[in-house]
Amino acid sequence: MRFATCERDGSTWAGVVSEAGVHPLPAGTTVLDLVRRGLPAALEAGSAALAGPPVALADVRLLPPLQAPTVRDFVAFEEHVEGVRKAIDGVTGVPPEWYQAPTFYFTNPYALVGAHDDVAVPPGSQRFDFELEVAVVVGRDGASLTPEQARDHVFGYTVLNDWSARDLQAREMKVSLGPAKGKDSATTLGPWLVTADELEPHRDDEGFLALDLRVSVNGTEVGQDLLSNMGWPFEELIAYASRGTEVRAGDVLGSGTCGNGGCLAELWGTRGEAAPPPLRPGDVVEMTVEGIGTIRNQVVAGVDLPAVVPARPRPRTRTRTRHR
């Protein structure tokens, strides 16, 4: 089943997507509400909604499927790490620490944008990039889960584009912290949330979801991979996120960017040149994930802000100057 959040005539509402359109759920019900009720109850509510009349998809604006309490983004594709590390740090190979445990950072839940919304270039960035990912949505609260337990905590999946200002990211990470402003301006989530049962037929013999992922810029395909090339399945990512702490229903966990052109920076690293070039206003980025759907965003000019003021040189005095 596919749950969506829509806007029409100034009103926001949740519904179930079918070939006929979007069937509204009862007024006041959000997709996050359904996730927190659990998958069986959500499927029951969705089945009831399908009996009602649909609204054509062309008549609504698709918002992010849910208002995620938190968004963690992993880096689970080895090929992506290798290419981006070369592009950003100028270093070849994959650090041995990557293999030891799945790494993630927290990104901005307030910056989620819909499947067809415009995306602005972050202030000051000249090297804007996309990142093709799949996100899992947690369906139950849990703490210190095993991977076997974590599978029962999966509600569903959606497409995620982790928009990235590579120049800002490169500066930030030289301070051994971040990414921050290199990542927090926009994250596309959509077009809807597909329940876990829909994608089970795509699971391979090793437990990975073997979904086809593709991304194009201005109609030209620049990347294609399989989701099953992840270093860890989603159950391992959820278990690691919950390790010594907790995850809650509605939390979003990104897979990290796929390989083979899942972002421009990977291609810059492997090719040794910025080809294709960084994204510019007017560029259209389209991503399609098998079994989930397509998101399509146009890049637009961002806000023109003053340059950031650098830190002032600080003295090393340890006493205060008295004012008279």
Angstrom CA distances, 97 to 52, 93, 100, 242, stand at 52, 12, 5, 20
Give the lowest-confidence range in 16-30, 153-167, 308-322. Answer: 308-322
Mean of pLDDT values over 135-161: 98
**DSSP conformation class of 268:** H
* pLDDT score at 299: 98
* pLDDT band at residue 93 using 50, 70 and 90 as cut-offs: confident
Report d(CA 288, CA 224) in Å as an integer: 10
Alpha helix segments (H runs only) across 115-272:
147-151, 166-173, 196-199, 234-241, 264-271
In the chain the domains, ranked by start, together with CATH numbers, are 2-63 (no CATH), 71-300 (3.90.850.10)
- What does the alpha-carbon distance between residue 158 and residue 136 come to, in Å, rounded to a whole number? 7
> Exposed, middle or buried, 133 (CB in 10 Å: 0-12/13-18/19+)?
buried
Mean pLDDT of the chain: 96
Taking alpha carbons only, the member of 233, 290, 237 closest to residue 73 is: 237
In the predicted model, is pLDDT for residue 178 greater than 90? no
The yes-or-no verdict on residue 324 having pLDDT over 70 is no
**In the predicted model, what is the mean pLDDT of residues 243-271?**
96
Confidence of residue 164 (pLDDT cuts 50, 70, 90): very high
Average pLDDT value for residue range 146-165 = 98
pLDDT at 86 over 90: no
CA separation, residue 187 to residues 44, 71, 222, 314 (Å):
30, 10, 20, 37
**CA 298 to CA 93: how far, in whole Å?**
33
> 198-231 pLDDT, tens per residue?
999 999 999 999 999 999 999 999 999 999 999 9
Find out whether 133 and 254 touch, Cβ atoms under 8 Å.
Answer: yes
pLDDT tier at 78, thresholds 50, 70, 90: very high
Note the pTM of the prediction, 2 decimals: 0.96
pLDDT at 280: 98
What is the Cα–Cα distance from 181 to 252, expressed in whole angstroms?
20
**pLDDT tens digit sequence for 100-123:** 999 999 999 999 999 999 999 999
